[in-house]
């Protein structure tokens, strides 16, 4: 006598009718995604409207959708400001946030430590050093080359960290993190050295880049980063299962048939690539990869099917907001986005540590 | 309690296994330091021979250009290096003893960053502050940083584990250096003034600054030595120390105060230099064992030695360009940190 | 009888230098419950790890159903062998259902991540372990016994013939210990082969068909509880002087340690009986 109790579960299944596909996702995920997206759009519009050149949000919408009346006095200016300056910049911030948040989520998954993120693990520093080196040594570096250089630097760093933390028992998460911290320190020092003695004319500008900034980012940046995300983000989302099993511990993961070391390495490569692309476009921005997954976990639970996509959206939203704050808080001057994330992210993270110890 | 520490000191394997070797060893190391100091003075934009150096030090002739250079430029610089090295090394030894964390050092735990930020802030707000302000700002910054990093690192079950403290230090450093960068970006003038200093540099250390900070660092070293017995006990474990009747809270507070003096003074003098406090205590422990009555003096001398050598390397490596010594220390120190993280840390 | 697991000349080590398990030979029969016992450091956990491929052997081999486990693909082995290590930990906030669903991993691939079959099997596992009402609760909010049952449910969802468990009852309250052991007994009745490391000798005697007693990485005694549980064996394996009586509840052998207090009491009773009445046996209440 099997009575099926139709009680509401916390999860839902996705089984499209004509595709051999099936997926289980936390019920909270789609709704949360929608909410975050809507909030992001609102913040986006407001962010575009804010600036030295004031445009009302309604006019922003009109400009974006191309419905600005032809006889509008400042139509040409609006188009310029919105489409050439602000939109690409804010979109860059969004994409960078997506990349960093996802990278952080993956790193936390493979190290089983909620305190891991590309900045802390020195991966961002490796990417930054490579990018700065290229800029210093070569003239007229094409933008599309930078993410590859950054990826090379970040990957070399990640592999070095991985190899150095390897013992016969495997790559214990604690060692991974501590060695990552060491790398971050020395790579940061080398980057400073490059900047101090390199030919970058404006040292101040170099500092800004290092601090992480989306100032002056244009459509080329958006396209470059967008291309990398197009490949990497789906890979990350589809790796959810592997991340879930790794989260249960190496032994149980092995018992379930996971090839633990191989999976960890592959996932590391994906997260490093994400971080590197972000650094190449916007410099070393910290704390997004730390805070975004943390908050997302509280919203939709630790299962990565929902965690990865929502974290990506949330990270994007956070950076769009951070960019707005950076532009408005000491207007007309601009606080680089990386500094905003550090100034807000660090205390917030300490607060999280305190509340959930 | 004296018996316990004596036992502890003799039970561990150390290089200078006979107690009779400890004092002579210290003297020899100090002698080595003096030799390196002399060597460092001879190097520079134009190398000066040792004979001239001796003359400049002991029969100073004001009309001799070389003598002037030595007295006003090189000697202060070299002495600053030795002081900074000694101070940071002893600070590291105290931190490692108090927190039983082999990875503790004033750079990693964010104390250097805190002190540096305070100095940058002072320069930004006061334009061209007097030297005593430098020192006071650094001390305040170091103190606040110490409180924060210990507080953050202690949250959670199990208290301040090496991992938690390190991460707390990383977070604190990130936060504070963002603030520092924010100021430097704002103000071109401030940036120009201290650009080199923020990387940790001994260039241009002048006598007045030396005079201001030397007493602080020396006080820190002496003060640390005074509690060396207590630190040895607490390094055996907090519960053990309490069981032996020690007031661990007082020892920790006193130790923290010494760390603040040492790190703050060092940063005021030469900017944030990391890894000295990380490496030297391990070398000292390797040589003399776990008794802090010996670890502290050895650390002081060895620290001075390390920074002096690093500074020489930094000046020679890219002649005539000068590499900030802080960067050289990072390059030297990181492999050591990695070695420690890999072999010396257990969960 | 059917050899499900065949261990030949197995030597295991963690770092390549110190050999923990020495040239061990063992046969485990299908459908039995085998308990690995011994004092700390005797190699029982290591042996279990060697059985499950968590540890690569320095020498020797392990065959499951005639196939060398190290030649099999990871997922194939996972479909036949389920392992539950000591003190497993689940990520914060993970629900029971999500945990048990993980057990389906070896049966899934990139596209089919949650088929109807997966759903059904997970549900069955929850029913078997009596956890359906906890399905949507986070694992870390459950009691020790319920949590252990959740992990067993995950291993059940794997649908393996063999279950390896490392000290499944340690750290649990006594009632929960019995709970877990009874569950394993039921699973065995359904045909599963169970190999578990137990630190409680009496529990082993009660529930196991075979006991393997280890000392210094080698088998000292192997057989039914009646065969293995003798005062001589107990002394050799555990360094413990004990009496063996029959468990009044289950009829299986039961180890009763003597210790200093027992020894003193014995001597007192013997001296008591020497004054007058002659007692035939010393009754230990």
CATH number at residue A178: 1.10.3470.10
Token readout for B327 is 């960067």
Q: Is the Cβ of B178 closer than 8 Å to some Cβ of chain A?
A: yes
Strand order of the β-sheet with C210-215 is C81-84, C162-166, C193-197, C33-37, C210-215, C218-223
* Residue B261 within a domain: yes
* Residue B1 within a domain: no
d(CA A58, CA B288): 74
Residues in chain A within 8 Å Cβ distance of B162: 178
Q: Which residues of A279-306 are buried (b: 16+ CB within 10 A; e: fewer)?
A: bbbbbbbbbbbbbbbbbbbebbbbbbbb
pLDDT at B322 (0 to 100): 77
pLDDT at B11 (0 to 100): 44
CB within 8 Å: A203 and B195: yes
Q: For the packed helices A87-111 and A28-49, what is the interaxial angle rounded to 10 degrees?
A: 150
Residues in chain B within 8 Å Cβ distance of A192: 199, 327
- What backbone phi and psi angles, to 5 degrees, belong to A113? -130, 125
* Residue A334 within a domain: yes
* Residue A21 within a domain: no
Do A99 and A275 contact (CB within 8 A), yes or no? yes
DSSP B321: S
| pLDDT tens-digit readout, A103-118 | 999 999 988 887 788 8
Token readout for C265 is 């009491």
Residue carrying structure tokens 């289950």:
C250
Q: Give the residue among A175, A151, A174, A155 at the shortest CA–CA distance from A164.
A: A175
Give me the domain span that covers residue A89: 31-41+80-355
- What backbone phi and psi angles, to 5 degrees, belong to B265? -60, -45
* Residue B228 within a domain: yes
Q: Give the residue among C146, C90, C85 at the shortest CA–CA distance from A244.
A: C90
Token readout for B342 is 């890999």
* Residue B11 within a domain: no
* Residue A65 within a domain: no
d(CA C256, CA C243): 5
Which of the other chains make 3 or more beta carbon contacts under 8 angstroms with chain A?
A: B, C
Q: Give the residue among C118, B146, C83, C67 at the shortest CA–CA distance from A241.
A: C118
Q: Give the residue among A282, A345, A277 at the shortest CA–CA distance from A115.
A: A345
Do A32 and A299 contact (CB within 8 A), yes or no? yes
pLDDT at residue B321 tops 90: no
A116–chain B nearest CA distance, Å: 9
Q: Give the residue among C218, C284, C285, C198 at the shortest CA–CA distance from C26.
A: C218
DSSP A7: P
- Name every residue whose Cβ is closer than 8 Å to that of residue B13 and which is 6 or more positions away in sequence: none
Q: Is the Cβ of C13 closer than 8 Å to some Cβ of chain A?
A: no
Give me the domain span that covers residue B253: 24-197+204-344
Say if A and B touch: at least 3 Cβ pairs within 8 Å.
Answer: yes
Give the 3-state secondary structure of residue A260: helix
* Residue A220 within a domain: yes
Of C75, C76, C115, the CB nearest to A22: C115
* Residue A246 within a domain: yes
d(CA A50, CA A91): 15
**Rounded CA Rg of chain A:** 21
Residues in chain A within 8 Å Cβ distance of C112: 20-22
| Size of chain A, expressed as the number of residues it contains | 357
Which of the other chains make 3 or more beta carbon contacts under 8 angstroms with chain C?
A: A
CB within 8 Å: A190 and B195: no
pLDDT at C89 (0 to 100): 84
Of A21, A169, A257, the CB nearest to C105: A257
DSSP A322: H
pLDDT at A201 (0 to 100): 57
d(CA B90, CA B70): 28
Of B327, B341, B342, the CB nearest to A189: B327
Of B152, B172, B342, the CB nearest to A179: B342
Residues in chain C within 8 Å Cβ distance of A258: 74, 105
**pLDDT band, residue B318 (cuts 50/70/90):** confident
Helix runs in chain A, H state only: 28-49, 57-65, 75-79, 87-111, 123-137, 145-164, 173-197, 203-211, 219-238, 240-246, 250-255, 260-282, 288-300, 304-328, 337-355
pLDDT at residue B343 tops 80: no
CB within 8 Å: C113 and A23: yes
Residues in chain C within 8 Å Cβ distance of A13: 114, 119
d(CA B115, CA A5): 63
Say if A and C touch: at least 3 Cβ pairs within 8 Å.
Answer: yes
pLDDT, one tens digit for every residue, chain C (285 residues): 467 888 888 888 887 778 888 888 899 999 999 999 998 888 888 899 888 888 888 888 899 888 888 888 888 899 999 999 888 888 888 999 999 999 999 998 877 788 888 999 999 999 999 999 999 999 989 988 899 999 999 999 999 999 999 999 888 888 889 989 999 999 999 999 999 999 999 999 999 999 999 998 889 999 999 999 999 999 988 888 898 999 999 999 999 998 888 888 888 888 877 665 555 555 555
pLDDT at B212 (0 to 100): 85
d(CA C47, CA C26): 11
A276–chain B nearest CA distance, Å: 19
CB within 8 Å: A196 and B331: no
Residue carrying structure tokens 């570096």:
A141
* Residue B16 within a domain: no
Residue carrying structure tokens 């010396």:
B344
pLDDT at A60 (0 to 100): 81
Q: Domains in chain B: how many in total? A: 1
B262–chain A nearest CA distance, Å: 21
CB within 8 Å: C98 and A252: no
Please give the ipTM for the structure prediction: 0.80
d(CA B297, CA B287): 12
H/E stretch holding C172: none
CATH of the domain at B64: 1.10.3470.10
Q: How far from each other are the two terminal CA atoms of chain C, in whole angstroms?
A: 40
d(CA C262, CA C256): 10
* Residue A305 within a domain: yes
Token readout for B336 is 């050591």
pLDDT, one tens digit for every residue, chain A (357 residues): 334 444 567 888 888 888 777 888 888 888 999 999 999 999 988 888 887 777 788 888 877 777 777 666 777 777 777 788 888 999 999 999 999 999 999 999 988 887 788 887 888 989 988 888 887 777 667 777 878 888 899 999 988 888 887 775 666 667 777 888 888 888 888 887 777 666 555 566 667 777 788 888 889 889 999 999 999 999 999 899 999 999 998 889 999 988 888 898 899 899 999 999 999 889 889 889 999 999 999 899 899 989 999 999 999 999 999 999 998 888 778 888 999 999 998 888 888 777 766
* Residue A20 within a domain: no
pLDDT at B21 (0 to 100): 82
Of B171, B178, B330, the CB nearest to A189: B330
Q: Which residues of C135-147 are buried (b: 16+ CB within 10 A; e: fewer)?
A: bebbbeebeebbb
d(CA A312, CA A322): 15
Q: Give the residue among C53, C51, C55, C54 at the shortest CA–CA distance from C13.
A: C55
In this prediction the pTM is: 0.83
pLDDT at residue B306 tops 90: yes
Q: Is the Cβ of A24 closer than 8 Å to some Cβ of chain C?
A: yes
Which of C48, C102, C131, C167 best tests the A interface by mutation, with the highest count of A CBs <10 A? C102
pLDDT at A203 (0 to 100): 61
If you average pLDDT over every residue of chain C, what do you get?
87
Q: Domains in chain A: how many in total? A: 1
* Residue A47 within a domain: no
| pLDDT tens-digit readout, B208-224 | 888 888 999 999 999 99
- Cis ω before A332 (30° cut-off from 0): yes
* Residue B229 within a domain: yes
* Residue B7 within a domain: no
CB within 8 Å: A302 and C101: no
Q: Is the Cβ of C81 closer than 8 Å to some Cβ of chain A?
A: yes
Q: Is the Cβ of B279 closer than 8 Å to some Cβ of chain A?
A: no
Q: Is the Cβ of A305 closer than 8 Å to some Cβ of chain C?
A: yes
């Amino acid at each position: 006598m099997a009575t099926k109790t139709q009680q509401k579960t916390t999860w839902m299944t996705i089984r499209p009718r004509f595709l051999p596909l099936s997926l289980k996702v936390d019920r909270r995920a789609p709704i949360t995604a929608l909410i975050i997206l809507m909030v992001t759009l609102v913040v986006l519009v407001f962010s575009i409207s804010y600036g030295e050149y004031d445009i009302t949000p309604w006019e922003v919408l009109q400009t974006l959708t191309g419905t600005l009346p032809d006889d509008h006095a400042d139509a040409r200016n609006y188009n310029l400001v919105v489409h050439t300056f602000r939109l690409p910049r804010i979109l860059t911030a969004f994409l960078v946030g997506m990349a960093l948040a996802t990278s952080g989520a993956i790193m936390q998954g493979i190290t089983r430590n909620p305190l891991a993120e590309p900045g802390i693990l020195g991966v961002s520093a490796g990417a930054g050093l490579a990018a700065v080196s290229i800029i210093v040594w070569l003239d007229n570096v094409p933008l599309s080359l930078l993410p590859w250089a950054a990826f090379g630097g970040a990957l070399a760093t990640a592999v070095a960290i991985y190899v150095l933390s390897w013992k016969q028992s495997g790559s214990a998460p604690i060692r991974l993190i501590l060695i990552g911290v060491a790398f971050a320190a020395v790579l940061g020092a080398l980057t400073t050295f490059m900047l101090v003695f390199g030919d970058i004319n404006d040292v101040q500008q170099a500092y800004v880049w290092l601090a992480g900034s989306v100032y002056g980012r244009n459509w080329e940046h958006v396209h470059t980063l967008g291309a990398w995300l197009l490949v990497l983000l789906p890979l990350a989302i589809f790796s959810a299962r592997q991340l879930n099993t790794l989260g249960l511990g190496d032994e149980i993961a092995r018992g379930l048939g996971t090839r633990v070391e191989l999976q960890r390495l592959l996932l590391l490569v994906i997260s490093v690539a994400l971080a590197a692309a972000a650094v190449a476009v916007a410099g070393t921005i910290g704390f997004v990869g730390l805070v975004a997954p943390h908050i997302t976990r509280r919203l939709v639970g630790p299962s990565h099917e929902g965690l990865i996509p929502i974290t990506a959206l949330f990270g994007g939203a956070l950076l769009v907001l951070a960019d707005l704050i950076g532009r408005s808080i000491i207007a007309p001057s601009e606080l680089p986005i990386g500094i905003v994330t550090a100034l807000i992210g660090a205390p917030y993270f300490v607060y999280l540590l305190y509340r959930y110890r | 309690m004296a018996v316990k520490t004596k036992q502890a000191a003799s039970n561990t394997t150390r290089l200078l296994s006979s107690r009779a070797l400890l004092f002579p060893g210290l003297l020899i190391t100090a002698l080595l330091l003096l030799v390196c100091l002399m060597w460092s003075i001879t190097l520079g934009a134009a190398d000066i021979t040792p004979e001239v150096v001796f003359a400049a030090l002991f029969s100073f002739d004001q009309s001799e250009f070389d003598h002037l250079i030595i007295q006003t430029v090189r000697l202060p610089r070299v002495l600053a290096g030795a002081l900074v090295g000694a101070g940071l090394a002893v600070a590291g030894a105290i931190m490692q003893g108090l927190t039983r964390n082999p990875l503790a050092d004033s750079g990693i735990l964010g104390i250097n960053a805190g002190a540096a930020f305070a100095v940058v802030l002072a320069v930004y707000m006061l334009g061209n502050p007097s030297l005593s302000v430098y020192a006071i700002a650094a001390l305040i910054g170091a103190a606040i940083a110490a409180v924060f990093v210990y507080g953050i690192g202690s949250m959670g079950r199990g208290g301040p584990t090496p991992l938690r403290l390190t991460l707390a230090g990383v977070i604190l450093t990130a936060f504070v250096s963002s603030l520092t960068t924010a100021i430097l970006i704002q103000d071109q003038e401030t940036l120009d003034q201290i650009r080199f200093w923020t990387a940790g540099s001994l260039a241009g250390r002048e006598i007045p600054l030396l005079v201001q900070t030397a007493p602080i660092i020396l006080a820190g070293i002496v003060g640390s030595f005074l509690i060396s017995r207590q630190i040895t006990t607490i390094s055996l474990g907090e519960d053990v120390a309490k069981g032996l009747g020690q007031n661990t809270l007082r020892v920790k507070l006193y130790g923290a105060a010494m760390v603040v003096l040492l790190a703050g003074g060092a940063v005021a003098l030469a900017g944030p230099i990391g890894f000295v406090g990380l490496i030297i205590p391990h070398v000292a422990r390797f040589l003399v064992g776990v008794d802090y009555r010996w670890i502290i003096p050895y650390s002081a001398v060895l620290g001075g030695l390390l920074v002096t050598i690093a500074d020489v390397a930094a000046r020679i490596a890219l002649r005539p360009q000068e590499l900030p010594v802080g960067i050289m220390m990072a390059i030297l120190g990181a492999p050591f940190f990695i070695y420690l993280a890999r072999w010396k840390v257990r969960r | 009888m059917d050899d499900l697991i065949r261990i030949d000349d197995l030597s295991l080590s963690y770092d390549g230098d110190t050999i923990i398990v020495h040239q061990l030979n063992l046969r485990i029969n299908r459908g039995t419950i085998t308990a690995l016992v011994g004092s700390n450091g005797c190699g029982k956990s290591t042996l279990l790890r060697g059985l499950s491929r968590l540890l690569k052997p320095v020498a020797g081999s392990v065959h499951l159903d005639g196939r060398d486990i190290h030649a099999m693909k990871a997922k194939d082995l996972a479909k036949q062998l389920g392992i539950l290590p000591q003190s497993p930990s689940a990520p914060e906030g993970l629900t029971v259902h999500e945990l048990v669903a993980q057990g389906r991993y070896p049966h899934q691939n990139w596209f089919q991540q949650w088929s109807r079959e997966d759903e059904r099997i997970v549900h069955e596992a929850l029913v078997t372990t009596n956890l359906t009402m906890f399905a949507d609760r986070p694992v870390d909010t459950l009691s020790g016994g319920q949590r252990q049952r959740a992990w067993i449910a995950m291993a059940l969802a794997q649908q393996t013939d063999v279950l390896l468990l490392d000290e499944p009852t340690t750290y649990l309250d006594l009632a929960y210990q019995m709970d877990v052991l009874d569950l394993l007994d039921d699973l065995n009745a359904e045909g599963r082969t169970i190999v578990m490391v137990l630190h409680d000798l009496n529990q082993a005697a009660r529930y196991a068909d075979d006991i393997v007693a280890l000392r210094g990485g080698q088998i000292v005694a192997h057989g039914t509880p009646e065969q293995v549980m003798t005062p001589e064996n107990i002394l050799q394996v555990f360094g413990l002087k004990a009496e063996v009586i029959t468990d009044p509840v289950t009829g299986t052998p039961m180890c009763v340690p003597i210790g200093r207090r027992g020894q003193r009491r014995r001597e007192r009773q013997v001296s008591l009986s020497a004054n007058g009445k002659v007692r035939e046996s010393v009754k230990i209440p």
